[in-house]
Amino acid sequence: METITSCTMDCPDTCSLVVGVDPAGKIRIRGNPDHPFTRGFICNKGIRFHKRLSSPDRVTRPMRRTGSTWETISWEVALDLCAKAIQKYRTEPSSILHFHGEGAKGALKQSGKLFFSMLGATRTRGSLCDAAGYIACVQDFGSRFNHDIEDILHSARIVNWGKDLSRGSVHTAALTQQARRRGARVLSISPGGDGNPDYSDAMIRIRPGTDRHLAAGVLRLLLGSGSVRPEVLQHLAGWDVFSNLILSRSPDEWSSVCDVSTEDLHEILGWYDAPGATATLVGAGLQRYSRGGESVRFINALAMLAGHVGRPGGGVYFHLHSLRNFNLGWTKPSPPRPLRSLPMPTIGKGILQAADPPIRMIWVNGANPVNQAPGTLETARAFESVELKVVVDAFMTDTADRADIFLPCTLMLEQEDVVGSYLHDYVLHAAQVLDPPGEARSDHWILSEVGKRLDPPVLLPDPDQCFQWSLQTPVLEISIQELRARKWVKARRPAVAYAGMRFDHPDSKYRLPSAFHDEPHPPTDYPLRLLTLIRRDHLHSQIPRDEQSMPPVVRVSPECVGLRGLRLHKAVYLASPLGRMEVRVEVQEGLHPGTVVYRRGDWWKLGGGANRIIAARLTDLGPGAAYYDQYVRLENG
């Protein structure tokens, strides 16, 4: 038997799935050939998800920590323990911290935010992923919208600024290749280490963290040539300050910081200052520096001043909000109440410094912050300092290891939800296909049961009500019953964002940045920039134990300065001022010589977890996590 459902992983593509289960219980997951965006293919993460569902490491019964060991308990006992703790701490509700992650997407997953908001608990703000770039776009455009992603098929050229097409969104990669077959050309700009050569007609390698310098250098050529059209200028705010800033340096002064030539600037200008439309893809990685938001703003400004924003085939593509097509008003308590918040990227410091009241209880769902947030050691110390920690998960993660109560949750295919995408405009029904194993329960069920035990109770709306409220938006006209039958619907949004260069600021004008901050040189003792990049087959820290090989592999250029004097036949360590970890070194052509590439997500408890040597820093906007501000060195002994 086969069932149509949807992927709920934290991936932009949000694919429609066809899931089959044979009489022996074997699960097959494939892309739905009838869905107009999925078109019958999905990524390896989706194809292999059945292994996660049936993993021997999966925890399917509630547990309570007793000393250094775990004791299996009943749901009745687990729920009573959680309710008793919340009842105790709710006298000072902000002493409870709710850490909600996006490990699984869906409207119903937002019910946890409603529950803890009604309590008055402390929440998190910002993102570990894309906050700097997201807010940069809001500052520029006044809101956050993209063209319909399939509009890149109308592009004459595509400039891919930092997105790894071989490991990220498989449908963006497929559309890029389709555009090339139609005659479009693709330029990729990055420090290297990605799979973009197979998707590109030209490549430019830059020093990590200098994307804004590179964009400013191209803008210097553009302004110097007088090519900015009057019809573009009339839609700008902040032109005088911005143009003076760009013209204050020569093209060579801008480009030399990036380790590229002035000829490279002219080549990039040719991609923007030519007949036809140029689309710009902005990767999430380039905004994971302390000035990441600024980099996105200067890339946006280049696309804008070259005349490619608000026109078919052009536009700037960055992550969208995956819930933008839903009504989320129901997730906020009525009447509204002020809530304390802690920045997600520096959560360890936030917990340790919280006062009046201090954090006494933490509830974590959909997240693994000890592993995934920068500053692992500080985050672990912070968690261990809190009186009671509840983790809702399916695996004993680095975060769950520090919990007092573990509650087993359902995973994708084991629960119903409705989902959106941060790439396309389809809203999909995620049908439940499988019965949960053991005693695993949904996040909504868990909190509903806990809420009933409180005095006064905190009652969540039932799932159908959450679904129906979520679908009541101006861009949708469908009920949950209809969505269950139809499986998906496309939100009503224009194919071209900001058509006619009319933006969502009060005066309808585009906002140019008014300041620029130079990228500092590497510290003498730590000359290499650590880039913790995505994997092809696994998402975040959702990596099976038996697929983690230790010590972790790092990759460097053959010209890497860190190789000098290093004895590769002996133990090698990747070190920062926070500590060091043993690694294996492999040489990879095409990388910037000042770069170390580490594929992120492996577990600290097994010997991985690069975030233990990455300091927790905030980006300029968001706040986001400035993972890539960390400098390191390679050493023996």
Distance CA 284, CA 134 (A): 9
Length of the chain: 637
pLDDT at 337: 83
Range list of β-strands (E), 7-161: 16-21, 27-31, 63-66, 69-72, 96-100, 123-125, 157-161
Q: In sequence order, which ranges of 471-564 are alpha helices (DSSP H)?
A: 480-486
- Cα distance between residue 170 and residue 9, in whole Å: 14
Per-position b or e across 424-448, b if 16+ CB within 10 A of its CB: bbbbbbbbbbbebbeebbbbbbbbb
Domain spanning 63-120+327-419+426-490: which CATH class is it, in words? alpha beta
CB neighbour class for 364 (10 Å; exposed up to 12, middle 13-18, buried from 19): buried
User: Other CB atoms closer than 10 Å to residue 527's CB: what's the count?
Assistant: 17
174 CB-near residues (< 8 Å, 6+ apart): 41
CB 169 within 8 A of CB 149: no
Q: Cα(341)–Cα(352) distance, rounded to whole angstroms?
A: 14
Tell me: cis bond preceding 461? Omega within 30 of 0 counts.
no
- pTM for the whole structure: 0.97
How far apart CA 100 and CA 112 sit, in angstroms, is 8
Structure tokens at 266: 């002219």
> Distance between CA 466 and CA 499 in Å, rounded?
34
* Partner residues linked to 64 by β-bridges: 71, 405
Among residues 204, 331, 290, which one has the least CA distance to residue 618?
290
Q: What is the mean pLDDT of each successive set of 10 residues along the chain, which is 637 residues long?
A: 95 97 92 98 96 96 96 98 98 98 94 97 97 98 98 98 96 98 98 95 98 98 94 97 98 96 97 97 98 98 98 98 96 89 98 97 98 98 98 98 98 98 98 97 98 98 98 98 98 97 98 97 96 95 95 97 93 98 97 97 98 98 98 96
Rounded to whole angstroms, how far apart are CA atoms 286 and 291?
A: 9
Does the domain spanning 528-636 belong to CATH 3.40.800.10? no
Long-range contact set of residues 455-459: C-beta below 8 Å, sequence gap at least 24: 455/87, 458/115, 458/118, 458/119
* pLDDT for position 178: 98
**What pLDDT is recorded for position 1?**
80
- Preceding peptide of 623 cis, ω within 30°: yes
CA distance 53 to 60: 11
What number does CATH give the domain 131-320+497-511? 3.40.228.10
Distances, alpha carbon 215 to alpha carbons 255, 296, 303, 310, in Å: 9, 9, 9, 19
Task: Count Cβ atoms within 10 A of the Cβ of residue 494 and give its class: 0-12 exposed, 13-18 middle, 19 or more buried.
Answer: exposed
* Domains in the chain: boundaries: 2-53, 63-120+327-419+426-490, 131-320+497-511, 528-636
The per-residue pLDDT for 197 is 95
Q: Are strands 202-205 and 185-190 parallel, antiparallel or unpaired?
A: parallel
